[in-house]
Amino acid sequence: MQEQINKLVADCKKQVAEANDLKKISELKAKFLGKSSPVNDLMKGLKDVAPADKPAFGKVINECRVAISELITSKEVEFKNLERSRKLQSETIDISLPSTKIEIGALHPITKVKNEIIKAFMGLGFNVAEGYEIEADYHCFQALNIPKDHPARDMQDTFYFSENTVLRPHTSPAQIRTMEVQKPPIKILCPGRVYRADDDATHSPIFHQIEGLVVDKNITLCDLKGILDEFARIMFSSESITRFRPSHFPFTEPSVEVDVTCMVCGGKGCRICKGTGWIEILGSGVVNRNVLSNCGIDPDVYSGFAFGMGIERIAMIKYGIPDIRMLYENDVRFLKQFR
């Protein structure tokens, strides 16, 4: 039997050596170790062997099975390794190659600053109300206490469509539209595009404003000061404060021009603030009684304050932008800095 076994192992060894792929190996596995393999036949024959010889026979057959199994398995492992390294080779990625660059977009600085202003005031309880860009002369001027042909109209270099229709030169008509339909308490913010016949390093024919309006019982200039101080701290720096200078607007009485501590020098005086330590950021005041009356709000019961600021101006101050036109040229090198 030993001879038969030796031949079997030698046979297997020869065929395994000749095998050239995994498929062939699995065929050999079935042939030499499967149910109808010679090794299995030998195992089955064990039952006819004399009991005394059984352990020795069993041992020999088992050794044969182990030998054959080792032969096949080692070849199988060899093929599998080969296949894996072939696969790895074909899937190699050259990580030193520069990747395709995907440019990430960003919000325009005007949008960014607008959102920042809105966020600051929303935190102080304001809601956003939008108006119209093509507006009635009445809402832009008359309701705001600026009669027809009054010299106060010169403050806004307005584009007229017709006698009664204009491209709004400020966001103030949005406060009129709100007061016409909403009764106090009112606490709104009106952002939007505005138009003026004006064009130089600090003025553009199209720009953006944000109007604020608060109307309720007992609203005073102190409330305005408190709100704007808080806004300056949120928007510019925790050290910022505001200063009120007397001014005039037909729609507010008293009216003030509001300055904020220069964020470049911290108030000491520098080139940016022209040595004053202050930078003008907006116009505001206590809502004129006539304006409240025009909107059906009793000025003996209610009072309010309003303010209006240019978004571009705030962006220019905040980021030290020297020319308003840089905000509209859309030079990617400029825009990238606001990512």
Considering the rule CB under 6 A, would residue 211 count as an interface residue with ligand DAH? yes
Take residue 61 and report the two structure tokens written for it: 């057959």
By C-beta, is 37 or 145 nearer to ligand DAH?
145
What is the sign, positive or negative, of the torsion defined by CA atoms of 105, 106, 111, 115?
positive
Q: Are strands 186-195 and 127-128 parallel, antiparallel or unpaired?
A: parallel
**Orientation of helix 2-18 relative to helix 22-33, angle to 10°:** 170
Q: How far is the CB of 207 from ligand DAH (least distance, A)?
A: 10
Decide if 86 contacts 92 (C-beta within 8 A): no
187, amino acid identity: K
Q: How far is the CB of 211 from ligand DAH (least distance, A)?
A: 5
Residue 206 pairs in a beta bridge with: 195
By C-beta, is 28 or 224 nearer to ligand DAH?
224
Helix (H, G, I), strand (E, B) or coil at 102: coil
- Give the footprint of ligand DAH on residues 21-50 (CB under 6 A): none
Q: What HEC string does 215-232 produce?
A: EECCCCHHHHHHHHHHHH
Among 284, 292, 304, 326, binds ligand DAH (CB under 6 A): 284
Of 72-80, 247-255, 267-275, 330-338: span binding ligand DAH (CB under 6 A): 247-255
Of 94-102, 122-130, 197-205, 303-311: span binding ligand DAH (CB under 6 A): 303-311
Among 109, 192, 250, 285, binds ligand DAH (CB under 6 A): 285
Of 6-14, 39-47, 95-103, 305-313: span binding ligand DAH (CB under 6 A): 305-313
Going by the DSSP 8-state scheme, the letter that residue 182 receives in this structure is -
Q: How far is the CB of 118 from ligand DAH (least distance, A)?
A: 16
By C-beta, is 251 or 278 nearer to ligand DAH?
251
Among 308, 313, 316, 327, binds ligand DAH (CB under 6 A): 308
Q: What are the residues whose beta carbons fall under 8 Å from the beta carbon of 125, sequence distance 6 or more?
A: 187
Rounded CA-CA distance 200/19 in Å is: 86
Instruction: Kindly list the residues in this chain that would bind ligand DAH in the complex (CB under 6 A).
Output: 170, 172, 211, 249, 251-252, 283-285, 306-308
